[in-house]
Amino acid sequence: MGKERSVEIKVFGQTYTVKTDAEEDHIQEVARYVNEKIDEVLKKTRSVSTLNVAILTALNIADDLLREKEKRMVLLREIEKKSEDLAEKIDLRLSGEDLEKVSIILKG
């Protein structure tokens, strides 16, 4: 992120100027993604209404986002569980070493 700039993009045949502090390459990638999603909708629907295409595209993008968020949450839960298991194993191992040291001292 840097200073705010104007970036010209083309979406669904229309040119837009976007004010953003993101890198131009990122904004162009966003526009490409939206155009790809629009093309998917156009291939699957007979609608010629720009509004209908835009709404269906927005719904598809929102669906993608929510699915990715759910995948992320599943991964974070898995990482948390594995971290807890690993910490428990480390604690058990360390407490086992402490017991060995105590028994060596007592025998000594």
Query: At how many degrees (to 10) do helices 24-44 and 50-107 cross?
Result: 120
| Per-residue pLDDT reduced to its tens digit, 37-96 | 999 999 998 877 999 999 999 999 999 999 999 999 999 999 999 999 999 988 888 887
Number of domains within the chain? 1
- Can you list the positions of beta strands (E) in the chain? 5-11, 14-20
Q: How many CA atoms lie within 13 A of 15 on its CB side?
A: 3
- pLDDT for the residue 3: 87
Residue-number span of the structural domain to which 82 is assigned: 5-107
How far, in Å, are 16, 28, 89 from residue 39 at the CA level?
A: 18, 16, 51
DSSP state of 99: H
Against a cut of 0.75, is the pTM above it?
no
